[in-house]
């Protein structure tokens, strides 16, 4: 049923129908990016956070999501105002040595992301069908490559939005089975606290939510819609609705990430059950909440792994294509090469990981280490009037973005000190 027909049935006026139609037209890019921060890496870090520290680290999901909204909006702003993604803009406006070094590190981050996504999907297949992890990784990699090379972009977008919906419904069901201490949880969402020994998990949560490949992906997806950039009023219109899309989508991601920690806190932490791997978490849910909860947990993880592997491959393809000054195009050799190296290297790394659960967490830490470089690259480009024209960042916007970059850098320094102790 179309939005116009539904509105007429509900008796709403034409102005509402026009606004609703506009909103639905612009919804989509943000939800694709949301997949990246409800991926298996998030499952591992959030499960570790909830099982090890209860509700104490919920604040990190709130902080990370607030950072994410500003950064993703800024990345989309670049795509709308310039018609170039972050990778293309870096290639165009930076010296070759600088741009290729930064973009090369972003490709490494995309490969690390793919490792977590493919490994998570393989763990889910192991839970459901007892498949060995290596076989699962091969099967999921083949499926994702087939979808990326053989499916139209708009259809991929619908698939991924469907996956996000299924994951959200899965956690609504899971939360209905447990008893949450909402008063303690409410304090946890807004009270910063870093318990002794939790810094690697804190950094893992940050790296799992604010992901460098997602910044590249969002700027690519938003400009790939090829809106008219000659009409200034249309650009302003796009920016307004893009922010609503980002806010709505990141809000869904915040809710799902919070649900992961809430579930782990209400089950594993409440029963003082340490969790060292996702398959163990699924097995422990059976006696606590029943078989259906464990199966739903595994299915949601599989949906998460497949959908986030798709977006990781798209991000890798976008970054490599941008190095050659080209937009993402799954029929182009440079984009295909980027997709292949991201998924093949990411999947191949799984064969060298002895501890899958720790591998998921450390992949997210690697993302957080690369993240400042992507943030500062983005700030440089979006604050430049040469790049953005009249749509360059305001002074207040720059202060917020530089503040985020400073916080991320400080947390990375704290992590390094913690690891060296």
Residues 201-244 pLDDT 10s: 887 777 667 788 888 988 888 766 555 556 666 677 677 778 88
Whether the predicted pLDDT of 421 surpasses 70: no
Whether the predicted pLDDT of 35 surpasses 80: no
The number of beta carbons lying within 10 Å of the beta carbon of residue 97 is 8
Integer Cα distance of 204 and 363 in angstroms: 8
pLDDT, mean over the chain: 84
At which residue do the structure tokens 């899958």 appear? 356
Integer Cα distance of 171 and 33 in angstroms: 19
Residue 80 lies in a domain: yes
Three-state secondary-structure class, residue 87: helix
Give tens-digit pLDDT for 242-287. 888 888 888 988 998 899 899 999 988 988 888 766 666 777 677 7
At which residue do the structure tokens 């920690």 appear? 261
* Burial tier of 239 (Cβ tally within 10 Å: 0-12, 13-18, 19+): middle
Count of domains in the chain? 1
Of the two residues 33 and 352, the one the predictor is more confident about is 352
Residue 27 lies in a domain: no
Residue 240 lies in a domain: yes
Q: State the sign of the Cα–Cα–Cα–Cα dihedral 127, 156, 148, 218.
A: negative
At which residue do the structure tokens 């991929």 appear? 156
- Helix segments in 276-332, DSSP class H: 278-289, 291-323
Residue 60 lies in a domain: yes
% residues pLDDT > 70 (the chain): 84
At which residue do the structure tokens 């008219």 appear? 228
Residue 33 lies in a domain: no
% residues pLDDT > 90 (the chain): 41
Residue 395 is part of a domain; what is its CATH number? 1.20.1740.10
Q: Give the structural domain span for 45.
A: 40-420
Whether the predicted pLDDT of 167 surpasses 90: no
At which residue do the structure tokens 């009023």 appear? 233
Whether the predicted pLDDT of 26 surpasses 90: no
Integer Cα distance of 279 and 252 in angstroms: 25
pLDDT classification of 103: cutoffs 50, 70, 90? very high
Q: Are 412 and 372 in contact (CB under 8 A)?
A: yes
Sequence-separated contacts (24+) of 354-358 with Cβ below 8 Å: 355/277, 356/119, 356/123, 356/133, 356/277, 356/278, 357/44, 357/275, 357/276, 357/277, 357/278, 357/280
Residue 28 lies in a domain: no
pTM: 0.84
Residue 5 lies in a domain: no
Q: Are 62 and 193 in contact (CB under 8 A)?
A: no
Give tens-digit pLDDT for 317-340. 999 999 999 989 888 999 999 999
Residue 11 lies in a domain: no
Integer Cα distance of 47 and 262 in angstroms: 9
């Amino acid at each position: 049923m179309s939005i116009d027909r539904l509105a007429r049935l509900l008796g709403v006026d034409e102005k509402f129908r026009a606004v609703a139609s506009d909103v639905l037209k612009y919804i989509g890019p943000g939800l694709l990016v949301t997949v990246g921060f409800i991926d298996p890496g998030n499952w591992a870090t959030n499960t570790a956070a909830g099982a090890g520290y209860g509700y104490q680290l919920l604040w990190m999901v709130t902080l990370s999501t607030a950072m994410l909204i500003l950064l993703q909006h800024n990345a989309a702003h670049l795509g709308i105002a310039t018609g170039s993604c972050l990778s293309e803009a870096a290639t165009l406006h930076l010296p070759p040595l600088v741009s290729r070094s930064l973009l090369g590190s972003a490709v490494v981050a995309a490969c690390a992301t793919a490792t977590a996504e493919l490994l998570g999907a393989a763990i889910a297949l192991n839970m459901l069908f007892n498949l060995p992890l290596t076989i699962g990784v091969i099967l999921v990699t083949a499926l994702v490559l087939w979808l990326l090379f053989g499916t139209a972009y708009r259809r991929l977008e619908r698939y991924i939005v469907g996956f996000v919906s299924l994951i959200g419904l899965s956690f609504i069901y899971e939360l209905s089975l447990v008893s949450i201490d909402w008063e303690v949880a409410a304090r946890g969402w807004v009270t910063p606290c870093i318990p002794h020994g939790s810094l690697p998990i804190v950094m893992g949560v940050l790296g799992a939510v604010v992901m460098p490949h997602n910044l590249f992906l969002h700027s690519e997806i938003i400009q790939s819609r090829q809106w008219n950039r000659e009409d200034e009023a249309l650009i302003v219109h796009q920016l307004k609705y893009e922010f609503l899309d980002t806010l709505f989508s990141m809000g869904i991601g915040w809710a799902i990430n919070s649900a992961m920690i809430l579930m782990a806190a209400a089950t594993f932490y409440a029963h003082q059950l340490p969790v060292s791997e996702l398959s163990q978490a699924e097995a422990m849910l059976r006696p606590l909440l029943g078989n259906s909860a464990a199966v739903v947990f595994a299915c949601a993880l599989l949906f998460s792994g497949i959908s986030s592997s798709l977006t990781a491959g798209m991000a890798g393809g976008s970054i490599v294509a941008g190095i050659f000054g080209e937009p993402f195009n799954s029929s182009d050799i440079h984009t295909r090469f980027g997709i292949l190296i991201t998924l093949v290297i990411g999947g191949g790394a799984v064969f060298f990981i002895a501890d899958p659960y720790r591998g998921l967490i450390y992949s997210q830490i690697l993302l957080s280490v690369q993240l400042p470089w992507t943030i500062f690259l983005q700030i440089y480009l979006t604050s430049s009037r040469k790049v953005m024209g009249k749509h360059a960042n305001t002074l207040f916007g720059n202060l917020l973005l530089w503040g985020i970059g400073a916080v991320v850098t400080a947390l990375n320094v704290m992590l390094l000190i913690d690891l060296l102790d």
